[in-house]
């Protein structure tokens, strides 16, 4: 698997971006039809991941200055988008009114901290596995780097828990699978000793997550 990903990284990312683009179109169509806040949050997360992957894929063709600017946007959008997973979980469970506002307050705090962490990230250019991309350097404040890492994992937990509850209520497995795929692929890199490929392995989990978002949104509509 390692040799395949290193040798075919851009191809893999290109396929994943096509999947995410198709999912985004599907979610936007659903949102236009029903104006559901959950679907909008799903679309925003998908758009953020699509932007992230596009910057990584196009790194070789971008001037270094532009690559750094867009990469800063990657970290910023990451900090802003991940808390939306909490809102997806809340809306999937039927949160409305005061309950929804309470969850939005929590999400807003997490988003503010995520945005600040993204802006404080110091970048370095790395050439690996066919990609020229910017990663967080050692000059990044420890708390900012750690916060973004923890945020990625922590926000998946509500998806899994909400998904379990929905399965108990016989409302489909897709929200649970979205969280499970994201969590499993995030852990797969370190678990297999491929922590240097975690960005690429994690992108597979992200594509599967948003695909399950679309499937859940369609089932919820019906």
Structure tokens at 100: 């929804």
Is residue 222 assigned to a domain? no
Please write the tens of the pLDDT for every residue from 188-202. 888 888 888 899 999
Is residue 41 assigned to a domain? yes
Is residue 205 assigned to a domain? yes
Total domains, the chain: 1
Is residue 184 assigned to a domain? yes
Is residue 1 pLDDT above 80, yes or no? no
Residue 176 has a pLDDT of: 97
**Core vs surface per residue 74-84: b (16+ CB within 10 A) or e:** bbbbbbbbbbb
Please write the tens of the pLDDT for every residue from 131-148. 999 999 999 999 999 999
Q: Which domain holds residue 29?
A: 2-217
For residues 97 and 116, give the distance between their C-alpha atoms in angstroms, rounded to a whole number.
29
- How does DSSP classify residue 99? H
Is residue 34 pLDDT above 90, yes or no? no
Stretch (H or E) spanning 62: none
Residue 46's CATH number? 1.20.1070.10
| Residue 108 · residue 79 · CB < 8 Å | no
Structure tokens at 104: 């939005």
Structure tokens at 110: 């997490």
Predicted model pTM:
0.95
Residue 116 has a pLDDT of: 97
Is residue 110 assigned to a domain? yes
For residues 211 and 191, give the distance between their C-alpha atoms in angstroms, rounded to a whole number.
24
For residues 154 and 158, give the distance between their C-alpha atoms in angstroms, rounded to a whole number.
8
Please write the tens of the pLDDT for every residue from 105-164. 999 999 999 999 999 999 999 999 899 999 999 999 999 999 999 998 899 999 999 999
Q: Which of 137-146, 167-176, 181-190 has the lowest mean pLDDT?
A: 181-190
Residue 2 has a pLDDT of: 83
Is residue 172 pLDDT above 80, yes or no? yes
For residues 209 and 127, give the distance between their C-alpha atoms in angstroms, rounded to a whole number.
27
| Residue 59 · residue 133 · CB < 8 Å | yes
Residue 80 has a pLDDT of: 95
Please write the tens of the pLDDT for every residue from 46-98. 999 999 999 999 999 999 999 999 999 999 999 999 999 999 999 999 999 99
Averaged pLDDT, 16-39? 95
């Amino acid at each position: 698997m390692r040799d395949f990903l290193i040798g075919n990284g851009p191809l893999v990312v290109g396929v994943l971006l096509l999947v995410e683009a198709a999912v985004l179109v599907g979610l936007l169509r659903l949102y236009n039809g029903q104006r559901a806040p959950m679907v909008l949050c799903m679309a925003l997360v998908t758009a953020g991941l699509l932007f992230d992957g596009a910057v990584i894929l196009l790194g070789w063709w971008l001037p270094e200055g532009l690559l750094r600017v867009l990469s800063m946007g990657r970290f910023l959008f990451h900090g802003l988008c991940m808390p939306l997973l909490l809102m997806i979980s809340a809306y999937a469970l039927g949160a409305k009114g005061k309950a929804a506002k309470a969850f939005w307050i929590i999400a807003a705090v997490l988003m503010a901290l995520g945005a600040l962490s993204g802006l404080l990230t110091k970048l370095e250019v790395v050439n690996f596995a066919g990609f020229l991309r910017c990663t967080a350097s050692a000059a990044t404040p420890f708390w900012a780097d750690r916060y973004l890492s923890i945020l990625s994992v922590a926000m998946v937990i509500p998806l899994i828990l909400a998904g379990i509850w929905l399965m108990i209520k016989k409302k489909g497995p897709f929200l649970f699978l979205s969280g499970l795929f994201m969590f499993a692929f995030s852990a797969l890199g370190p678990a297999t000793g491929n922590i240097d490929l975690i960005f690429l392995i994690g992108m597979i989990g992200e594509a599967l997550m948003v695909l399950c978002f679309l499937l859940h949104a369609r089932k919820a509509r019906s």
